[in-house]
Structures are given as structure tokens and as C-alpha cells.
Amino acid sequence: MPFVIGTDVGGTFTDLWIASGDGETRVFKSPTTRDVLGGVIDAMQMAAKAYGLSFEDFCADITRFGHGTTVGLNALLTGTAAKTFVITTKGFGDTLEIGRLRRQTSGMNEFEMTDAFLRNRHPPLAPRSQIIEVDERIDANGNVIAALDDAEADRAVGQLVAQGAQSIAVCTLFSVVNPAHELKLRDRIRAALPDAFISLSHEISPSVGEYARMSTTLANAALGPIAGRYLSRLEDILRNAGMKVPVLMMTCAGGVLPTAVLNDRPVFALFSGPAGCVVGSRALGELIGAENVLTTDIGGTSFDVGAIVQGKPIMRGQISIAGADLNVRSIDVDSIGAGGGSIASVEMGDLRVGPKSAGANPGPVCYGRGGTEPTATDADLVLGVLDPENFLGGQMRLDKEAAARAIEEKIAKPLGLSVMEAAWGIRQILDSRMADLMRRMTLERGYNPRDFVVLANGGAGPSHAWVLSAELGLDSFVVPAAATAQSAYGIATCDLGFVAERPVYVRVGPGAKPADERLASVSAALKSASAEAEGLLREASPQSRITLERRVSIRFRGQTNHMDIAFASEAMNMESYGQLVQDFNTQYETLFGRGASFSQAGYEILGIQVAATAHLPPPSIAGAGEPLVKAKTRMVVFDDPANAVETVIYKTSYPPPGTQADGPCIIEFPGQSVVVPPNYKASADKYGNLHVKRVQS
């Protein structure tokens, strides 16, 4: 039986989503192991066993294997990536430490930002002792101001050899305009250190701005040996067991790539889990006919939101990790520290929820692991939303009395509220903060949240979704069949994708037209990026039809922020330039209001991106399901803490197509509870997704 598999390594669990040839899909979860690899293999063995197959027979039947991992991220966060040397232009060796002043406050939340004592949490990605300056200089136009002579290059390479460097990042000023010096350094290093992992900034991060480019190149070089080792071990194990297909790695930009293609660019796969979740949500949106999707994921410590607009995820050009700005084109997933573990407290008469979290250890009070501070999970338990006997599919019994006691003592008494009122208050504050993030993801970007379908993922997502969707003015939400493993689902079903970028610089004064040679430079960049992106995917999947989408980064002259505007043509001439400017103005006004655009300022074009996609056929999904079983009833608070409502509790692991259930009810899955409030109705579609919708009352 053919299997399509997606594996996603998370902080606590490694998820495996699988579709078998008969259309049935299943999810397996295994604890993430320290070496990461073990958790992946464990999950696969669980799956093999469930299908009654040996590990080898199971592997032999795999037709597609997608993988997302935190190996690189962990290495960067814990400083255990490879010791990496940086070669840069003389006079600029402190670029990483200065960090544009951003490094020192990077990663601080809004509550920490005002506290100077908390600054400088992250050291520079590499200490000064690993940075080698070379006397060379290229200017903004690519002119060689100071040539890199052989003796100088050899001196730098000599230092690398003396230090036994194995990972090397080369980032010289304006190499993106003229890469001659970086290329020369690469050739010299390669001759002296043939086995070293070398990353060149103009290849890894082709954009103007040395701090983020150097950080990105350095992170890439530091991850190279580690990611390469990890992936080749994974592939060896699976290939030896009989798997015939390559491992497809999830990238931040939301496409998968064979490891062979990604080996030189590990930084592109740094943050694959959240991207996988959004990609999965996009695929699901396609299945159910939703073009605009707001995908939410409530975990223990964080709440993540991604948005898909007209079938395309919202992207960002930069992410910030371990104190460094990295130019890694990524699906934009915004996050706040709000989740089941968020701690509620009363301080000087004010009720606060989060951002402090009890995490998994000691965890909420109701876990009985020594937690004493009431959390959102405790509130959900007291309100009847969670079943103390059936948490994580019954793996853990929750202590409802302890949760109620903690809420009474720490919240209710100081505020003069009943326990139910206090628990409900905790819920409301948390839900409201989460709704704020969903507004940020839509309204701030010029979209109306009412045009979106909300998908509820993660363990706690489906129990909060009805409030969040109502907060945004929506009367429905969808709980995906793979809600607890949406990333793995996305990774399993994702298309091949790669984004190539090129910097350009075109400056157009007020009322002026760009010079022909400048337009030609944009055309050349489009052509070269298209060739790179298409070539890579062709190599990865020779038979697939490859589609290219082009974007141009443009801003009003003098601005710092730009917008990436879709560009339909293959080359830029006066006509397509005119179209670009028109589209930019339109989108700008959508975002900032009518009258906000200011064409009198003129324009600047800063770069282009070409996204190549090779479509991979998705597995067909159609499950028979497992009928809802009415287990019992319990009292649940929906909107009035004084009046809990008797609520039917159903159990299932996969609702059969067409199943319907009237609210108030809770449908308990292993790992999540879908709350269907009064006057709502849940119905399952043929893929096992639950649509929860308000009915006229």
C-alpha cells in the first residue's frame, strides 16, 4: 500500500501524518528525542506497527517523505552549531557585535523592552576572534575601489588554515553588486581547505545591507556541517530500510526541496514547523474551497497565526533568531506568548494573563506536577471545557479541585469574584489577546478578517476557536482533520518550491521615468533569478511542470520599508514598469488608506524575487471515519459564568463524512476538544474536517 508521509519535529512531540492508498489518513506522535533522529524513527515505527508492517516493508511502500526539523534552530539557539569563521571587509569586522543596535533588544517582548537590565541576551553569532578582515573595497555601484590582491587573500586564508577552520562565511561590502572578491576568496579557500563548508553572502543572501547578510551567511555556514550530517544519517537509515524516494525538506518559504538541493543552503530550512502548518492550511483551504485562510495554533506557551490571502501565504523577507536578523524568505507566522500554560496573576488589583508561562514543567496546577500558579488550562478545566479524565486521550488525569483552589486563592478572592467568574475572566483576557494578534495579521495588512476562514489547530485551538472567530465577526470556523499535526500534514502534501532573489537599484525622481539601462538591469536580474529557481527545481523533479511567479520590491523614494508587488512580465520595460507602479499605488492605498500614496516622491526599486513551484500530486483523502459516540454530559460555561450549560460530550478520532452534531456539545478527539457552543452546529466534510457554524436561533 503506498504511503505519503509528513514528519514534523516539534519541541515536545515529533508528529507523523500519513495518508495510505485507500485515502485514510492517520496521525502518530512520539516524544522528540535529544538527537531528534530517534523521535522520527520512533514515530515511523509506531506507524509501521499500526499498519501491521515491518519497518522495512513500510519504508519500501513510501511514495513520498516530507520532513521538517528543528535541528538547525536548536543548534543556533544553544550555540552548538559549527564554529564558523567570517571573512569581511577591513574596517567592518564588528558588524555582528554592533548589530545595528538591534541585537541587544532582539527577542525581548513588549513587557521586557522597557528594561535595560534585560538587554544583550544574545551574544553575536560569532565572536571577534573568529572574524578576519581583508583589505578590499567595492562601492555601491560595484566599482572596485580597492582590489583584493593575492597576498591579502592568501594572508586571510592562511589564518583560516592556521585555525583549522571547517565552516567559513564570506561577506564583503557590496558583494551583491560585484561578487568578484567573494568569488576570489572562495577559490583560494577551496584550494587550501578543500573540505571546508563555505558560504558566500552574495549567493546565500543576495540583498543590500551587510548586517543581516553577514548574519544569514554565517548562520548558513554554521549549520552546514550539522544539517548535512543529520540529513545524510536520516536518508541513510531510510534508504537502508528500503525507502526509494528522497527526503523532501520543508523550507521556511513554504516549499519542499530534496536534501541534495538544500545541502548548500541549510539556513533556508531553519524554521520549518510553522511554515508547514500554514502550507497545510493552504492545502486544506484548497480542498474546502477557501481562498483566504487565517490559521491559528494554540500550544502550551505560544499562539501562532498565519494568513493565506487568495491562496498565497503572507510572506516576510527577514526573521530574527538568536538575536540576529536573518534574510530568510519565510511564511509570515506571527506569535505571542499566550497559550494553555499562560499564568494568570493579580498584582495591585489588576488581573494579568501571561506572558509568563508555566510551560510543560511544572505546567498548569491541574497537572499535579508542582505548579502553583493558575493557568489558562486550569481555567478551561474549571469551566468544564476540558475533561479531567480524557486529557491527551486519557494519558493524563487532571486535578480539577486543585485548579479551582488555585484560581480561588490567587484570582477570585483578591478580586472579589466567584471561581467561575475568575476562570471565565482568565479565558476572556487570553482570548482577547489572541484575537488582537489575529487582527494584527489581517487589519494591519489591509485585509478584512470577515473575508477569512479560521482554521483551529494545536491542542487548545479547537476549544477557543468559537470565541476567536466571533471576536473577529465570523460565524464559523473549521477544525482540520489533522489539527494536532497540521505541520506534518502540510509537509507531507507540499509542492516543491524555491525562491531566488536578486538585488537591483533603480531610483526614479518625481515625475521622471527610469533610464532604459536601469530597466535592463531589472530584466537581467529577473532572467538570472528565473534560471536559478527553475534550474534547481528541474534538478529536483525533472518531469514536473514548473511555474514561476515574479515579484518586485518597490517603495516611494526615500522610504525604508518596501512592498513586494507581483510582477506578471518576464522582463521590465516602460510598460510593465508603469503597471508595477500602478499596482504598488493601489496596494499601498489598500494598506494605508486612500490618499496615503505619494507618487510625487518618486520610486525606488530594490530587488526582485522569483518563486518557482513544481506541483506534486496530493494524496487522495477520503476516510470512512469512526462514528461519534455520546460519552456523557457535563456542565460547561460558554458565555455566562453563573450559568453553566449541560453539554453533550462525544468521542471520536475521525468523524465520518456527513456527521452532524448540534451545540452545545464538545467533541473530544485524542489530543483536542472541539467546543461547539449553543446555537452552533458541527458537520464533518468528506476529508474529516469539522465545520462549526452558527445556526439561526
Partner 1 sequence: MQQQGDAISPVVFEIIRNRLIAITEEMRVALQSVSGSPTVTEASDFFTGLFTPQGEVASMGFQVAYHAPVSGAFIRHISGKPGMNVRDGDMFIGNDPYIAALHQNDVQMVAPIFAGDQIILWAGVEAHEVDVGGMDFASWSPKAKEIWQEGMRIPCVKLIDRGEMREDVLEMIVTASRLPALLGLDIRAFIATLNVARDRINELVARYGAATVSEASRRVITSTETRMRARLRELPDGQYHAADFLEHDGHTNVLYSLDVQITKSGDTLTLDFSNSSKQSPGFINATRPGLMGAVAGAVLATLAWDMPWNEGVLNPVKVICPDGLICTAKFPAPVGSATVETVWVAANATMLGLNKILSASPKYRYRAQGLHAGAMATFNLGGINQFGEPFGLHLMDPLAAGSAAFPSKDGVSGGGPITSPVSSIADVERNEQVVPLFYFHRRLAPDTGGAGRMRGGLSVEVALTLGGIDKAQALVMTHGAEVANSMGLNAGFPGATIRQTWGTNAALNGRRVDAPFEIFGPKPGLMTMTNRDVFAVSWQGGGGYGDPLERDADAVAKDIIEGSVSLQAARTIYGVVYRDGVDRPATESLRNEMRRERVGGTFADNVSRKYRGNTDDGAALTDGLRIVRDGGDFHVVSKAGYILATNSTRWREGAVAQTMEQLPDEFGIRLHEDLRATCWHCPASGALLSVDFHYKHRNAPDDAIIEPHAIKAMLDA
180 binds partner 1 (CB under 8 A): no
Q: Which is nearer to partner 1, 240 or 448 (CB)?
A: 448
Nearest distance in Å: CB 634, partner 1: 24
- Verify binding: residue 511, partner 1, rule CB under 8 A: no
Task: Using CB under 8 A, pick the residue from 139, 187, 389, 570 that binds partner 1.
Answer: 139
Interacting residues with partner 1 between 102 and 121 (CB under 8 A): 102, 104-105, 110-111, 113-117, 119-120
**Closest residue by Cα to residue 466 from 434, 501, 510, 507:** 434
Return the closest-CA partner of residue 48 out of 67, 28, 31, 33.
28
Q: Which of 24, 38, 45, 97 binds partner 1 (CB under 8 A)?
A: 97
607 membership: H or E segment, kind and range: strand 603-614
Question: Could you tell me which stretch among 360-368, 475-483, 501-509, 540-548 binds partner 1 (CB under 8 A)?
Answer: 501-509
Give the separation between CA 588 and CA 601, rounded to whole angstroms.
14
Q: Which of 66, 99, 300, 384 binds partner 1 (CB under 8 A)?
A: 99
Rounded-to-integer distance, Cα 240 and Cα 165, Å = 33
- Helix axis angle for 71-78 and 210-241, nearest 10°, is 130
Q: Decide if 251 contacts 259 (C-beta within 8 A).
A: no
Report the alpha-carbon distance of residue 95 to residue 170 in Å, rounded.
13
User: Which of residues 23, 38, 90, 408 is near partner 1 by CB under 8 A?
Assistant: 90
By CB under 8 A, tell whether 372 contacts partner 1: no
The neighbouring-strand residues paired with 563 are 554
Give the Cα separation of 76 and 271 in Å (integer). 11
- 242 Cβ neighbours under 8 A, 6+ residues apart: 56, 57, 59, 60
Least distance CB 418 / partner 1 (angstroms): 12
Q: Which of 317, 321, 352, 347 is nearest to 331 (CA)?
A: 317
Contact string (CB under 8 A) for partner 1, positions 211-250, x = contact: xx--------------------------------------
What 8-state DSSP symbol labels residue 106?
Answer: T
Interface residue with partner 1, options 353, 407, 465, 661 (CB under 8 A): 353
What's the closest the beta carbon of residue 205 comes to partner 1, in angstroms?
A: 12
DSSP 444: G
Which residue is listed with cell 494605508? Answer: 592
Per CB under 8 A, the list member of 95, 302, 442, 585 interacting with partner 1 is: 95
Q: Which stretch binds partner 1 (CB under 8 A): 28-36, 43-51, 350-358, 389-397?
A: 350-358
Shortest distance (Å) from residue 393 CB to partner 1:
32
Q: Which DSSP state fits 111?
A: T
Q: Which is nearer to partner 1, 344 or 479 (CB)?
A: 344
Among 44, 429, 540, 580, binds partner 1 (CB under 8 A): 429
When asked if residue 595 is in the footprint of partner 1 (CB under 8 A), the reply is yes
Element of type H or E holding 404: helix 400-407
Which residue do the cell numbers 510551560 mark? Answer: 359
Q: Is 314 in the site for partner 1 (CB under 8 A)?
A: no
The contact mask relative to partner 1 for 408-427 (x = CB under 8 A, - = no) is -------x-x------xx--
559 vs 582, beta carbon nearer partner 1: 559
**Which residue's C-alpha cell is 526599486?**
605
Residue type (1 letter), 78: T
Which stretch in 52-60, 69-77, 557-565, 621-629 sits in contact with partner 1 by CB under 8 A? 557-565
The residue (of 344 and 398) whose beta carbon lies closer to partner 1 is 344
- Binding partner 1 by CB under 8 A: which of 101, 151, 162, 191? 101
Amino acid letter, 207: S
Q: Is 317 in the site for partner 1 (CB under 8 A)?
A: no
Q: Does 310 bind partner 1 (CB under 8 A)?
A: no
Which run of H or of E encompasses 645?
strand 645-651
- Is residue 446 at the binding interface for partner 1, with CB under 8 A as the rule? no
Pick one of 17, 92, 489, 577: the residue that binds partner 1 (CB under 8 A).
92
Count of beta carbons in the 10 Å neighbourhood of residue 117: 6
Contacting partner 1 within 626-685 (CB under 8 A): none
Read off the C-alpha cell for 434.
489572541
End-to-end CA distance of the chain: 47
Instruction: Please check whether residue 430 is in contact with residue 338, taking contact to mean a CB–CB distance below 8 angstroms.
Output: yes
Residue choice 208, 288, 314, 524 for contact with partner 1 (CB under 8 A): 208
How many C-beta atoms lie closer than 10 Å to residue 624's C-beta? 12
Q: Considering the complex, what minimum distance in angstroms separates the CB of residue 307 from partner 1?
A: 15
Please choose, out of 293-301, 380-388, 586-594, 651-659, the segment that lies near partner 1 by the rule CB under 8 A. Answer: 586-594
